Structure 1
Amino acid sequence: MHVVATAGHVDHGKSTLVRALTGMEPDRWAEERRRGMTIDLGFAWTTLPTGATVAFVDVPGHERFVPNMLAGVGPVPAVLFVIAADEGWMPQSAEHLDALHALSVRHGLLVVTRSDLMDPELARDEALEHLAGSTLARIPAVCVSGATGAGLDELRVALSQLVTRLPAPDVGADVRLWVDRAFTIRGAGTVVTGTLAGGTLHVGDELELVPPGRTVTVRGLQSLGEPVESAPAVARVAVNLRGVPREAVHRGAALITPGTWLSTRTIDVRLATVVRSGHVSGQTGRSIARSGGLAADLPREVVVHVGAAAVGARVRPLGADTARLVLGQPLPLRIGDRALVRDPGTRRIPAGVIVLDVRPPVLRRRGAAAARAAELSIMDGVPDGVAELRRRGLIRCDELVAMGAQIPAEAAATGGWLADPTLLMQRSDRLTAAVTEHAADNPLEPGMPLEVARQVAGMPDARLVELLLGSQLTLAQGRVHVAGPVSGLPDAVRSAIAALRAELAQRPFAAPEAHRLTELGLG
């Protein structure tokens, strides 16, 4: 299956087009059909001449319903961008393009509708000019009429070609299903729907619902209205859940594979400028265009849209195009995730977002923000296990994988931890010096206690001390000591013991007092 969303200005014929392609009614509400205007997300599907199945997510075009539109296009890889021949490019055409560019949607078709009412060439050329500086530059264009059916066969052929160009989904990936609808069916219970972009769902799977962070079981699955035992990505799915009431689920929640995602409230991001006047402001043609002060221009309170979720966030600018976002609620995110921010005051989209770090460091010291901005400036949003380990020094294996990165082959590992070789060398030198000094100051002790060694080395887990031993240190019976043959007691201690034995030989029943042991260096 392939999933394609619609986009475009209100009343440009998106729902009519979906209806003509599928023979299904995408508008679910009676009010939508009465008013002739899509308010919420609609769904329909069809089989193309090649046998490929395409499911459509029909989105509203009115500016009041942009959040609903964003919930529909967020997880979808391709779009039908709709322009009416008799109206041409309109304000919501521009805003929808801003959103698609910010989310880095790269696959689609430009569909000029109502071509029976006016020559579509002018509207087509105008739209292509606006698309030229975006991620949808150079997409094919088809002119159709939903009323007469003209061009629909050509559109079906173009759709068949489009789906062959879509990237193959990773059906073995960890599941993250953004919920775009939640409802109750009598006798079945809670049902959620969404676009499965990666992984595979099975009946009987245990998943985590976030928020609120509770375990649920897949009681049943449907795809395209039919019950199935499993559903591989990409797919539109309806999931019947056991273990959660309807009231606990809302649009923007996510069903995830347990233990494989990091739910975070703080993320460091790169900001991408959006499309204006037919080009991308900044460096034209780049999906992430570096801007001069985009972060500083953002309002301090924004709404972040990712997947089907929309959450409030506070903005802390770091660099010219980097910022820290503190989300109003935790979201399961990974490095490289795409999102966008909306200004709740103007209801406009000032920037797109690419996630650079889902576990950023706390910025407490003076100058920490500037140093962090410099660090973020060389990060590209591509998950890189080697780079992440180098930056962090130490990290748990499962946490690195949950960030979206692979475990580096050269990493030292023990007890579920990964350690950067450079950090290990530095900490090993520190520990060797401390153990040597401890032995000199405490000649009677058999070595430094393991817990003390952990603290001295600055390690979060005592098992990591083993990685610091090398050839100079040895761990035995819970103590770390300098490696090498046991040299016996120090000369000073041997002399003190000899003196004590001589005194006891003369007065065998006179046990030495504490002050005498101290004088001998044995106290």
Structure 2
Amino acid sequence: MNGPGSWVVATAGHVDHGKSTLLRALTGTDPDRLAEERRRGLTLDLGFVWTAAPSGRTLAFVDVPGHHRYLATTFAGIATAPAALLAVAADEGWRQQTDEHLAALDAFGVRTGLLVVTRADLADPAPALAQAAERTAGTGLAHAPALAVSARTGAGLDQLIDALDALAAEQPTPDAQAPVRLWLDRAFSVAGAGTVVTGTLAAGTLAVGQELELAPAGAPVQVRDLQSHGRRVTSATGPARVAVNLRRVPAERVARGHALLTPGAWWPTRAVDVRLHPTPAPARTVDRRRLPAEPLVHCGTAATSARLRPLGPDAARLALRTPLPLHVGDRLLLRDPGSRLLVGATVLDPDPPPLTRRGAAASRARHLAAVDDPADPRTRLAATGLAERAQLAAQGYVVDPEGPGWLLDPEHAARLRAALAEAVADHAAAHPADPGLPVAEARHRLPGALPEDLPDEALAALAGPELPLREGRFYRTADAERLPPRVAAALAALLAELDAAPFRAPTRRRLAELGLSDEALALLVRRGRLERVGPLRLAPGATTRAAAQLAVLEQPFTVSEAARAWATSRRVAIPLLEALDAARLTRRHPDGRRTLTTDAR
């Protein structure tokens, strides 16, 4: 349960100055900042005030405009608050804009709040309370507490504060370790301080000195200073109203609708698959015939145009004009400015696959219909087969941060493992002298099944212990532990010859006589059973022994002197000396002579 801290409430419902009057009476501060608002008695922009509850908790209020002309601003205030105070005037009753505000609250998933009938001194509040109860039925505020107040007489104001405080105390504490996504509702410049932005921090923690990312530009910024509810603080935890002084960004590059993000923790996207639900009655089916082809999409304080492609009865794909930083489960509001139609949407996939083949849209709709918990990665893995762990986390799926970099769907992994086992067996039958299937060829044998950037370690994890990865190749278990019999016999004969004359490297003809093909030689070198020295094949450790035998020579020495010390020919001595030069065991002089380096002595 929440202890005394802070809580943020969006105040919606009225088209006139009733909300502002109520908030002024509750907090002693006027939420209307603009002179035109005071002159017209009409809220035109978001207002922010706060007060202290008896428990010591700070109650912050976001006052939103009521007039239809300012809906974009209204939605920016509603979308980021964890709770709502829906106000209805006793002398006016339920209005059209109240329906729109309730629809927006429902679309954005606001399920906590109060119904307040204001101006109870001007009319009997009972009819307005009954009407509000009827209109909120079937919405997230269906069972919200309701009470009547009068800002003029003060009746009910203490009870309202107590009710808000009690409601806040019942809510679970937001995760202080959650990634930050602070939707910005104001940006301005302060003399001597620079750029300041404000917003409602829903979860996570902001701190002075913290490195963040400014979306949608993706620019890095740093928190220079921080205030919450008018007080300077070193850190703030959601829910709270905050003002953030930023480094590294001029004020003209920041605007409402931008967001401060924990770097790498959110998925910026221009395409998103969503589940549609009408507002304010989620149980009904969406009328696809009324869906706008190009709706406005509201998320947090951001609004962008989009193209909508229906996929199924309650599913659609949105192509966004401006990218939004999203997680699965995020709530969006789709608006048709022409018809005043409002439709809520839940993000099911912020990185959807392309729809290229015939019937792909219907197949996609069936997949989306099966999604019960958007944050469960199993549904996505069932569709994609595999995904990068960090990418899933950035998209909002619940994944353990520890473990392999890639996650695989069990059924998909089984199919790939079977295909890989078949490919390894085919390669071993075709290349008995070198039965390991190269990783590059393994990827080629599984076209379209694996991403190009899937690391070899992830492929090895997919293959499992039955197909061990050795020296960049997949083997059957038996082949990984032993040499092919013919290769083993040929190796034994060659090593016996080299034991008698370590530096008399066999010629290609001799290797062929022994039955050692290029494939077999490559296998023996990878296994460490032979050492390759340029075109030569010698016993393991040959270069180290060769350097040791040169120590008896007078320094510097010639190629011929080295060949005599090794009891071999110039055919062997030259590539062997070049190998020693490359290993920095010898140093070549301009006249062609060499000297052992300190490392070789």
TM-score range, shorter chain: 0.7 to 0.9
Residue 463 in 1 paired to residue 454 in 2? no
Which of 376, 380, 385 aligns to 1:384? It is 376
Deviation at 1:419, TM superposition (A): 2.1
Deviation at 1:104, TM superposition (A): 2.0
Residue 442 in 1 paired to residue 453 in 2? no
Residue 303 in 1 paired to residue 292 in 2? no
CA contact (8 A) 2:329 2:346 kept: yes
- State the percentage of identical aligned residues: 53
AA aligned to 2:120 is S
Cα deviation 1:306-353 (Å, max 9, x = unaligned): 11111111100001011001111111111111111100223x243101
Deviation at 1:115, TM superposition (A): 1.2
Which of 295, 307, 320 aligns to 1:327? It is 320
Which of 124, 132, 140 aligns to 1:127? It is 132
- Partners of 2:301 and 2:150 lie apart in 1 by 31
User: Which of structures 1 and 2 has the bigger CA Rg?
Assistant: 2
Residue 158 of structure 1 is matched in structure 2 by 163
In the TM superposition, 1:273-352 aligns within 5 A as 273-275=278-280, 280=281, 288-291=282-285, 293-346=286-339, 348-352=340-344
**Unmatched segments (≥5 aa) in structure 2:** 1-5, 491-506, 521-601
CA contact (8 A) 1:12 1:113 kept: no
CA contact (8 A) 1:3 1:235 kept: yes
CA contact (8 A) 1:424 1:467 kept: no
- Partners of 2:224 and 2:17 lie apart in 1 by 40
Q: CA 1:112–1:474 in structure 2 vs 1: closer, same or farther (change >3 Å)?
A: closer
Q: CA 1:82–1:468 in structure 2 vs 1: closer, same or farther (change >3 Å)?
A: closer
AA aligned to 2:50 is W
Q: CA 1:456–1:296 in structure 2 vs 1: closer, same or farther (change >3 Å)?
A: farther
Deviation at 1:111, TM superposition (A): 1.1
Deviation at 1:381, TM superposition (A): 4.5
Q: CA 1:408–1:42 in structure 2 vs 1: closer, same or farther (change >3 Å)?
A: closer
CA contact (8 A) 1:271 1:295 kept: no
Q: CA 1:511–1:200 in structure 2 vs 1: closer, same or farther (change >3 Å)?
A: closer
In the TM superposition, 1:479-490 aligns within 5 A as 479-484=473-478, 485-489=482-486
Moved beyond 4 Å, runs of 4+: 509-512
CA contact (8 A) 1:182 1:192 kept: yes
**Unmatched segments (≥5 aa) in structure 1:** 281-287, 494-508
Deviation at 1:160, TM superposition (A): 2.0
Residue 80 in 1 paired to residue 77 in 2? no
CA contact (8 A) 2:432 2:484 kept: no
SS in structure 2 of the partner of residue 180 of structure 1: strand
Deviation at 1:380, TM superposition (A): 2.8
Is 158-167 or 24-33 further displaced after alignment? 158-167
Give the number of aligned pairs.
Answer: 485
Q: Which has the higher helix share?
A: 2
Deviation at 1:245, TM superposition (A): 1.2
- Partners of 2:51 and 2:415 lie apart in 1 by 61
Residue 354 in 1 paired to residue 351 in 2? no
Q: CA 1:2–1:440 in structure 2 vs 1: closer, same or farther (change >3 Å)?
A: same
AA aligned to 1:345 is G
Deviation at 1:394, TM superposition (A): 1.2
Residue 224 in 1 paired to residue 229 in 2? yes
CA contact (8 A) 1:200 1:231 kept: yes
Deviation at 1:475, TM superposition (A): 2.4
With normalisation by structure 1, the TM-score equals: 0.88
Higher relative CO (CA 8 A, sep ≥ 6), structure 1 or 2?
Answer: 1
CA contact (8 A) 1:208 1:214 kept: yes
Residue 366 in 1 paired to residue 366 in 2? no
Which of 403, 406, 410 aligns to 2:398? It is 406
Residue 453 in 1 paired to residue 458 in 2? no
Q: CA 1:433–1:245 in structure 2 vs 1: closer, same or farther (change >3 Å)?
A: same
SS in structure 2 of the partner of residue 453 of structure 1: helix
In the TM superposition, 1:59-74 aligns within 5 A as 59-74=64-79
Deviation at 1:246, TM superposition (A): 1.2
CA contact (8 A) 2:17 2:41 kept: no
CA contact (8 A) 1:222 1:239 kept: yes
Q: CA 1:159–1:475 in structure 2 vs 1: closer, same or farther (change >3 Å)?
A: closer
SS in structure 2 of the partner of residue 301 of structure 1: coil
SS in structure 2 of the partner of residue 31 of structure 1: helix
- Partners of 1:192 and 1:233 lie apart in 2 by 16
- Partners of 2:373 and 2:17 lie apart in 1 by 36
Residue 40 in 1 paired to residue 45 in 2? yes
Deviation at 1:436, TM superposition (A): 1.6
Deviation at 1:454, TM superposition (A): 2.5
- Partners of 2:463 and 2:138 lie apart in 1 by 56
With normalisation by structure 2, the TM-score equals: 0.77
Is 193-202 or 397-406 further displaced after alignment? 397-406
Residue 248 of structure 2 is matched in structure 1 by 243
Is 162-171 or 204-213 further displaced after alignment? 162-171
Deviation at 1:446, TM superposition (A): 4.8
- Partners of 1:296 and 1:103 lie apart in 2 by 23
Deviation at 1:435, TM superposition (A): 1.8
- Partners of 2:163 and 2:471 lie apart in 1 by 72
AA aligned to 1:310 is A
CA contact (8 A) 2:68 2:97 kept: yes
SS in structure 2 of the partner of residue 70 of structure 1: helix
Deviation at 1:223, TM superposition (A): 0.7
Q: CA 1:474–1:123 in structure 2 vs 1: closer, same or farther (change >3 Å)?
A: closer
CA contact (8 A) 1:209 1:254 kept: yes
Deviation at 1:434, TM superposition (A): 1.1
AA aligned to 1:422 is E
Deviation at 1:471, TM superposition (A): 4.4
Deviation at 1:242, TM superposition (A): 0.5
SS in structure 1 of the partner of residue 114 of structure 2: strand
CA contact (8 A) 1:6 1:79 kept: yes
Deviation at 1:510, TM superposition (A): 13
SS in structure 2 of the partner of residue 43 of structure 1: strand
AA aligned to 1:30 is A
AA aligned to 2:293 is R
Residue 199 in 1 paired to residue 199 in 2? no
AA aligned to 1:337 is D
Deviation at 1:408, TM superposition (A): 6.1
CA contact (8 A) 1:268 1:323 kept: yes
SS in structure 2 of the partner of residue 437 of structure 1: helix
AA aligned to 1:407 is V
- Partners of 1:26 and 1:424 lie apart in 2 by 58
- Partners of 1:363 and 1:225 lie apart in 2 by 50
SS in structure 1 of the partner of residue 73 of structure 2: helix
AA aligned to 1:487 is P
- Partners of 2:307 and 2:393 lie apart in 1 by 27
CA contact (8 A) 2:62 2:77 kept: yes
Cα deviation 1:433-479 (Å, max 9, x = unaligned): 11221222234445222211123234332322212433443322222
CA contact (8 A) 2:433 2:484 kept: no
Deviation at 1:257, TM superposition (A): 0.4
CA contact (8 A) 2:65 2:73 kept: yes
Is 99-108 or 388-397 further displaced after alignment? 388-397
Residue 550 of structure 2 is matched in structure 1 by none
Deviation at 1:35, TM superposition (A): 1.2
Q: CA 1:511–1:159 in structure 2 vs 1: closer, same or farther (change >3 Å)?
A: closer
Cα deviation 1:152-181 (Å, max 9, x = unaligned): 122122222221223321111000000011
Deviation at 1:126, TM superposition (A): 1.2
Q: CA 1:97–1:311 in structure 2 vs 1: closer, same or farther (change >3 Å)?
A: same
CA contact (8 A) 1:103 1:340 kept: yes
AA aligned to 1:33 is R
Superposed CA RMSD: 2.5
- Partners of 2:373 and 2:308 lie apart in 1 by 19
Residue 567 of structure 2 is matched in structure 1 by none
Deviation at 1:290, TM superposition (A): 5.0
